[in-house]
Structure 1
Amino acid sequence: MNYIILDDEPLARKGIELELNNIPDLHHKGSFAAATDAMACCNNTRIDLLFLDIEMPDCNGFEFLDTLPRSPIVIFTTAYPQYAVESYNYHAIDYLLKPLKKTRLLKAVQKAIHYHQLLYTPASHYDISQLSADYIVIRTERKYRRIMLADICFIEGLKDYVMIHTTTQPLLASMNIKTICNSLPPAHFARVSKSYLVNLRHIDAMDHELIYINTNEIPLSATYREEILEKWLNGHFVKR
């Protein structure tokens, strides 16, 4: 899995390189301070993973992604938390705040590696072929797989795919998030942002900006906040 770093801070670039040196699945193809140099590398080499800063002197990270003919898996690394919501429009696999913490960085990298493996495994091409009251059936090239609706924690939109996070494992499906959203019962499933759909029965907690399911923090868009809160609290809120 080939990766590059685009960041105008030398220490930030070096820090990522040092942490990832011993991960056998990753192959470092370059670290760049200038967007033009990173673009040249992307044009000449297949890049699977991009560590990307947002505010840089010669380029905005989002603008850089808009110029790429083929978008790699993206992990944003930035000192600015205010861009987190916008980053989901670019289907980033993760959004890390500087100074980077080793545990968060490695967790993001493992997530990217897992997604890359699923994406390029032939048996990872799914589509919904049946919906019943309590399960869906997804089809692979070799078999059908049943997923109980109660086992779906949340669904994450990733470009032309969705990652179905269940209680036991994540499953990659070849469809967009709107398609699967329309196929699930609205009494138990709801959109919470452009890129996320959650099972209301698995929500552990919620605040103004995030939904918490197990150890996952899922961004909550203002567009969906009132609806999701009403659905989740309906009949269950204990008043003082």
Structure 2
Amino acid sequence: MPVTIYQGNDYSPAPADINIVIDVIRAFTVAHYAFIGGAKKILLVRTTKEAFRLKKTYPDYLLTGEVNGVGIKGFDLDNSPKRAAGHDMAGKTLIQKTTNGVNAALHALQAEHILVTGFSNAKTTAEYAAALSRRQKEPVINIIASHPIGDDDMACAEYIKDIIEGKQTIAPAEAVMRIKNSHVAEKFFDRENPLFDPDDITYCIKEIPGHFVMKINPEKEVPMIERVII
């Protein structure tokens, strides 16, 4: 089966059977912890203006995200998986706006199945995609590493590709090391940069076995991530 990896947050891949969009640091790690905490759904928006418009209509929804890595004034949460994990998410709907992951996902809606993940849910997502692909003749699978530079999402993309293709060339520990040593992770370990919490990386590199994947429903007025039990 053809499995192709692309890198960037504005790449629109050709129509496929399965698109997998990755943002390890940190959007889809945040999403994963939100669903673990009981979140109902996550709406994906391109702009802060759209996020605030939805919040005005639905004041109980939680705004979460960042611009260029920094939390947005007026949002309920930033893009920290640590803070997402500590927040009461039960039954909540989130509105997520991020620089890389969300933008990449909104460019990748031309597929029968659209999955999003960080490393924390990578193995579960890859195994689900592999199972889907076995049901189709000559399936086309795109994997999008949303950060346009660096090795964090690429390490996860290659790890997922490896699992889908039934190989064992990339061990989880190798992917974790590449994520920790990536350009994107550097600022989290810079003690002179208090905007970024090193604990977030700990959340981003912890693989959590689970029984659900995060799948985009593109049919709604606002595309949304839903928790799909497998």
TM-score by length of 2: 0.27
Over alpha carbons, which structure has the higher Rg? 1
Greater strand share, structure number: 1
